[in-house]
Structure formats: structure tokens, C-alpha cells
Amino acid sequence: MYAISGKINLENIERVDVEKVDVAKSSTGGKKEMGEGSIGEKERSGIVKGGKDDEFSGLLQLEIPPGYPIDAQVEKQGVDKVCLLLKRDIIFKKIKERKDSMPRFDLLVAEAKSQEEPIDEAPVDDTPDNEMVESQIEGNCFNRKDCARELRDCWRIWMRTLNKPNLNIVDRQQWRFMWRVATFVRGNDELGKEEMDESCSAGSIKAMASHIVGYPRMGPKRELKFALEAFWNNKSSAKELQKVAADLRLSIWKQMADAGIKYIPSNTFSYYDHVLDTTAMLGAIPPRYGWNGGEIGFDIYFSMARGNASVPAMEMTKCHYIVPELGPEINFSYASHKAVQEYEEAKAVVSALCEDEITRMTQYHGIDTVPVLVGPVSYLLLSKPAKGVDKSFSLLSLIDKILPVYKEVVDELKTAGASWIQFDEPTLVMDLDAHELRAFTHAYTELESSASGVNVLIETYFADVPAEAYKTVTALKGVTAIGFDLVRGSKTFDLIRNGFPPGKYLLLELALAVELSYEFFFVHSNKLVVSTSCSLLHTAVDSANETKLDEELKSWLAFAAQKLLEVNALAKALTGLKNEAFFSGNAAAHASRRLSPRVTNAAVRKAAASLRGSDHRRATNVSARLESQQKKLNLPNLPTTVLGSFPQTLGLRKIRREYKVNKISEEEYVEAIKEEIRKVVKLQEELDIDVLVHGEPEQRNDMVEYFGEQLSGFAFTDNGWVQSYGSRCVKPPIIYGDVSRPKAMSVFWSTLAQSMTKRPMKGMLTGPVTILNWSFVRNDQPRFETCYQIALAIKDEVEDLQKAGINVIQIDEPSLREGLPLRKYEQAFYLDWAVHSFRITNCAVQDSTQIHTHMCYSNFNDIIHSIIDMDADVISIENSRSDEKLLSVFHEGVKYRAGIGPGVYDIHSPRIPSTEEIAERINKMLAVLDSNILWVNPDCGLKTRKYSEVKPALSNMVAAAKLIRMQLAAAK
């Protein structure tokens, strides 16, 4: 046979020899032992010639099957890994031989049992496996269904070999861990607890760790929202706001610690968003905010986010973060110590709590968290050139200017005691060029010396990591650990299986990780960490707060608090401590959902299937339709309109709340809403707005929730709040089954409003793509199938509105761009079905019915052709807050023939624009758009504003439109 031998110490195998060995000449007295070669003490001393006894920890010699590619494996994997892989291969060869070798097998088992160190017998489950029953070994598959007993006995034999006193303890722990992986996958994981405890304490392999990328920060009852709004309205002090924030952070850290999470994040809390926090940390404050140095306070911070009476806010983009504005002259400085302060705050938790509440944490002197920073490269790639800076300016040219600040932050965190620092680099999942990838190598090479002595974790999420980016990030020497999203990025899974650096920690979702090969676990077992695929920021906080959700449906859900428990349960199960009751309950919930009759609707599926084969375009082109609509509507040039909602006053909220809890009757509620609509209609007529809206007072606390509540296949929560941006929270619907519209949803209110005016009244609907993207969507069918079902439901509503005499119908799609996949190869397919879904909603209306849509807070230039393909008659689109970048696409020659209303002022700021400012914006639009297609409107709906802000802003907007009309008439 062949044998591999090597010098082993506690750190590594220092030398390897591959040679022919004659087993018959063994110096062990003729006694052959599986896994041992033939070299006796005399030959052994020759191999370690010149070595001192205290340098020698023993020899490992293994049988090598004929034809085993040892040279190639040594070159590819390294000697130490080859030894471990050989052990793995040999034991599974023995499993495969099974009954043919049973006599010898029994002898070896008996021999192993007779050794001094007792080995607990692992229980055997002889029931068949249902999935994951094969593993590839040297090109041959074996089936694990029938191998439980042999696996146990092989383990016993090899533990006999590995229990040699002079064998490296790490190897012994590696092999025991290998057994646990096998038993976890098979369900035979009830290993003796004593043996587990001994195993974990004896060597370097410990119970698999768990990690959370990030956590919701609003609080289970939106505590942060109310604290922020009270502060903004001068009803509370900065100290009171900070107290609410500190209490929330403390409860989050304690909740994670109690759930058993090892790597708990800090600095994921934010008063607005974490990109803005990074802007503050770097001192990258645009000059217009008047910052003169020092620690960034609330006044500057919230002015950047919301604007103030004199200056507008910074741009907010589709992911609802405040976009940094950078240029070549900017000077960065360390201006916010939030990351260090929150780390130290968590470390001080012990003194703030009773010790009996956190007994297991007292040994750590508080909660030792992992501070989270937006990575330097992603920060620059998520930025934009500041106003006045050439658009071709390379943001990555600033990398050497921001790295000194990052080094200061890292140094402070190290001094404070941090042993891990997490850098979020989500842009690694994008299609980056070689120059952008080199920026990652450069940045983390520069940070390496500062980060010496601390573990650096890079987190990626939301998509596949491209092969070149994977190669780049896994090659970073100063990086200890890498996290990947295998839910949205399943192709990354193949890259990991084909090669991951053995010295680095790997963070991933173990529901998928158990599909990794035994070989992978064997090599990386002590470097795997069970994590979430991405931050839980946009997940509802805790399903325990949902007392009205029926129990069956509730069992199908896991909010952030439940996901903490799932992550920890998976981590424990993979080490053999599987909670059978927990996993059985999970399996029962999945079975309940799969078999439930409330999930599927045959009629809906048939209707959706019938959509195939048509593109659902309207029969007439948009120019002809606009002519027909103008004859009916008789609108002036530059028509003015509002995009849906009006302010949601305290009185209005009180009415809705009282109706919801049956304090007022339905008749009283309807009368109150009628009066609110009458006020809104009257105000718009007084302002001389051309196309009106009813203001959406009727239970429209959210544009998605309102319609979802009236559709089948949707479920709703009482406290499932999720942050949208700043203090804005939404309760995303839960789409659990097939979707249909049992009855009309908005027709009553729209026709009521139309009866109050002779001016056109818009029917207001939310489009299918936005309903989909702003919901928690079922995962048992493709997203586009669910979207088509929603589109059919909205189509029914559009046709009913038309029948009721509503001649202008707005179908909002603000999240169309938001749902665009990050990877380019996925984008065309998404845009195809998303645009198709919108066309389905209005494909059957008359030419004289005007279809509007609305989009906001995204860069639409790269999808402008898809927007044109939606074939809407009029599109209103966010423009003012993004420095009018939308207009650049028309400067570049794109021809748009439908009506278009680029927003003329930002509704997310309390600032009131002047007539002159709005008129200037309209003139910029007229430089690239024809006056006969241009509409004048705000960026978005007005529900977040006060009437004291809305009235003067709309008055100035109408005045500006009239001013430009006069100028156009005079020019003619």
C-alpha cells in the first residue's frame, strides 16, 4: 500500500513523505491496525532525525487507496488538509464496503471498545433519510440511508486511532466534529452531552457560533419614530430622544445575548440611516449646512436628512439612504464617534443590569459586540459628485483621503477592546470593473496594519457575488471573515463549494450550508459561523406582538426576534445539540402551509395562466390617446396636479382609530371622511389646481396596506412595523396565497369626490409591482406569478373606476426601480415582467381615459426605455431632490411623447419653495421637454407634511405654472 507520514506538532504538519509500505513487516508485533503504517520506533526516529523530543508530537500514517492523486492534492490543498481529507475518504470507503468487510469490521469495533478511553455509543436511527442522502467520494456515490450503524462503528474505530496520547488534540476534535455533521444531516444527533462538553473544552473546535448582520432599530412599538417626531416638533429635548435611543439599543443587545447569539452587532442603530451616519463620521458635510468642525450634532445631522428653512435636504435614493455629495476639494475628518460610543455602551451593560439577569454575560464584562461600519469602498460607490463637480469625477479617487479616518476609528475601537469589526461592503455584489475591484484590495491592504490584532469581517448581501469579486475579497490578507447572502445569491454557493480560504471564517445561512459537502465541513468546521443572509433591519420585530393573527398563519412566520432563535438553533444543531421539538415544530409549520387550502385558488391560477401570449398593450398609440383625452378634459398648458395624499391630521387619525375599535359607527365614520374630502376638494379649487385628488383620508395609512386589506391572499399585522426612511414606518402586507379582488376597493370614495367638483378627479390606486415589492412575498412560487395575480386584481378596479365615470386614474409604481436586481444579468427579466404587469392593469380602458403613474426616489435614467414601455399616458416622477438628474436623460436625446411631470419641489422637507424657484425648475424642464406634454406637480404625496407647509407650497407651485404659461403665450 501507500502511506503518507509527516511530522506533527500542535500548529501544523511540518513535513510529509509518500512511500510504499509493506504492512507485513510492521514493527507492531504483527498486529495490524487500521490507519497505522509499518514504521516502528527505529524507522520513526530516522524520519525525525535531528529533532528534539519536545519538538515531536507524533506521527500520523494512513492507508492510501491505489490511484489516489496524492501529489496533486498535496499541491492544491497542503499537507495538513490532505491528511484530514485522507481520513475522511478512508472512513467512507469502509462504510461503502459494508457487509463484505463485516468480519474484520466487527473485530476492529471490538478492539476499539476494549481501549482504555471509553467512547459513548451514539444512537442509531434506522429510518430512511428523505433528502441529502448522497455524497461524492472519488467519483463514486454512496447512500447514507443504510449506513448509520457502520458510520458509528467506523467513528469508533477511528477514535481508537485518534485517541493515541501523542496525537494532536486538534485532529481528534476535527474528527469528532465530522461525526456531528454526519449525524446532524441524518437526524442522529443525540450525542451524549458529557461527550460534547468534553469535546468542546478539549480542543479548538467549539460549538458553532452565530451572528446577526443587523437588527430593526425602530422598536417593537415604533418607540424611535415617536421620539424623533416629538423632537422635530420641539415637543421633547435632545436628551429625551437620546434616552429612548439608548433604551432601544440596550434591549436589542440583551435580546440577542439571551437568544444565544455570539457575534452581536453594534452601531447598526441610526437616527435616520447608516449611510448618513458614515457621512457624519467622515465629516463629509456639504458646505451649505454651515458646519465649522467639531462633533456632528442633531442640528447638522437632521438638516442633511430633512433640510431646514433655508437649505434643502440631501438627495434620498431608492434604498432610502441619504446620498453623500463629494468632490475633489473635500476634506475628511473624524467628526462622529458614534461607533466607538455604542461599542463602549454595550460593554457597560453589566453595570446597568442586575447580575442575575445576565449571569452568563458577567464573565465578558458586558456585551462584547461587533461594531459595524459602512465599508470605505461601498461608501464612495454609493456617493455622487457634489453640485458643481464634473459628473465624470472619479469618486474612488478619494479612497486615500477617507482611509485615515477609518484608521482612526479602527484604532479607537481596538483601544476600547473590540476584537471584531464588521465592514459592510454591499457593492461587492454589483458588476464592478477591474479598477473598482482594485480599490477593495488597496483599501483593505492599507487598513491591514491598523486592524492588526482585530478580526475584520466583510459582509456582502442582496445578490450573488460575481466570480471576480469573490476572488478579490477572498484574497484579502487582512480580512478574517466574509459573509455572503445565499438567499438572494445562490450562485455564490457554487463559488464557496469550489474553494474558500481555510484560514478565514465563513458566515452564511446554515439552512443552505448543510448542503455543503462533508469535505468542506471537514476542512472549515471551526471557521463556520451561522448568520442571517443580510440585516434584519427591514423585518418586523416580533410576531409575539401579533395577538389577532390566526395561529395557523402566525406559525408560518418568523419576525426578527424569531430569526434570532432560528439562527442559534441551527448553530447548535450543527454541533449535535439539535432541539428536536424546535425543528419538529418548524417542519409541521411548513407542512401546514404546503397543504393549506387557503394558499391556492384554482380560478386565479387559471386567469394568470391565460395571460401568456399577449403583451397587453393598449390598441392606440399614446399621441392619439392624449388628443382624445384633451378633448374630454380640456386642460390648460402645463396642467397642475397633486400626487395623491394630503396631510394626515391628528383629527383624521383619531376618527380612523375610533372607527377601528368600534367607538363610532360606520355612518359616523363615512360622514367624517366625506367632510375631510370636501375640505381637500375645496382647498384645491381655491388654489386653482387643474386635476384634483380626494386626499386619501379613508383608512389609507399606507398605500399598499390599504389595498392589500381588501384583496384575498393577504394577511396583516397590528405591530409588524418596518422602517422605510427616517421616522417613516410601514406595515408590509404578508402575501401568503393566491391573490384576487373580492369586491371594488376605491370606487365609492373616488366617485364621491368626483361628485363634489366639476374638475377632473383622479382615481388613486397602487400598482402591482409596488404592492409586490413593498410586501413580504410568498416564496413557494416565482415573484412574477404573484405580481401577475395582483395585476389582474388592479385591472378589475381600473375598469370599475372607468365605468363609474372616473376619467383620470393614477396607478402608482414608486418601487418599480427599487425592485431592480443589482446584477445586470437579472435586470432584463425583471423589467420585462414588471412593465408587463403594469400594462395588464390598464390594457382594456378607453382611449379617453387617462392613465397616470408615479415614481419617486430612484435614478430612473438607466431604465428610461422601460418606463416608456409602460405606455402610461402621464408619468409623474421625482426630480427636485435629486438635483434634476432626470432631465439629463432628455438632454442626451431620449424622446418622450407621453405626458410627464418631473417634481418641482421636495415634499420630504419642511422647507417651502418660492414661486421663483419653482418657475426656474419649470424652465429647466422646458429646455428639454415640449410644453404640451409637461405637467407641474410636487415630487410625491403630501401625507407627511402639515397644512401650514402644504398650502403656501402648492400656492407657489400654481403661481409658477401660471407665470410660465404667460411667458409662453407672450413668446408666441
Report which of 9, 115, 123, 25 is spatially closest to residue 59, judged by C-alpha positions.
9
CA distance 274 to 161: 53
Q: Is 908 a catalytic site residue?
A: yes
State the cell numbers at 157: 474505530
CB atoms near residue 718 (< 10 Å):
11
CA distance 17 to 6: 6
Q: Classify residue 878 as exposed, middle or buried by CB count within 10 Å of its CB (0-12, 13-18, 19+).
A: buried
Q: Are strands 2-8 and 62-64 parallel, antiparallel or unpaired?
A: antiparallel
Query: What are the helix and strand counts (H, E) for the chain?
Result: 36, 25
Q: Classify residue 228 as exposed, middle or buried by CB count within 10 Å of its CB (0-12, 13-18, 19+).
A: buried
Q: Is 786 left (phi over 0), alpha (psi -120 to 50) or beta?
A: alpha
Sign of the alpha-carbon torsion through 616, 621, 623, 624: negative
Q: Are strands 776-777 and 808-812 parallel, antiparallel or unpaired?
A: unpaired
Edge-to-edge strands of the sheet including 13-20?
13-20, 2-8, 62-64
Q: Is 628 helix (H, G, I), strand (E, B) or coil?
A: helix
CA distance 241 to 227: 6
Ordered DSSP codes for 882-935: TTTTHHHHHHTT----SEEEE-SS-TTSSPPPPHHHHHHHHHHHHTTS-TTTB-
DSSP letter at 446 equals H
Output the CA torsion 623→878→390→895 (10° steps): -10
Sign of the alpha-carbon torsion through 155, 156, 157, 163: positive
Q: Is 322 helix (H, G, I), strand (E, B) or coil?
A: strand
CA distance 78 to 67: 19
Report which of 963, 764, 959, 795 is spatially closest to residue 876, judged by C-alpha positions.
764
Report which of 721, 719, 716, 745 is spatially closest to residue 733, judged by C-alpha positions.
716
Mutual angle of helices 915-926 and 947-971, in 10-degree steps: 50
Phi/psi at 866 (nearest 5 deg)? Answer: -70, -35
Q: Which of 211, 836, 852, 908 is catalytic?
A: 908
Q: Which residue has the cell 414661486?
A: 915
Mutual angle of helices 148-162 and 102-113, in 10-degree steps: 50
Annotated catalytic sites, by residue?
908
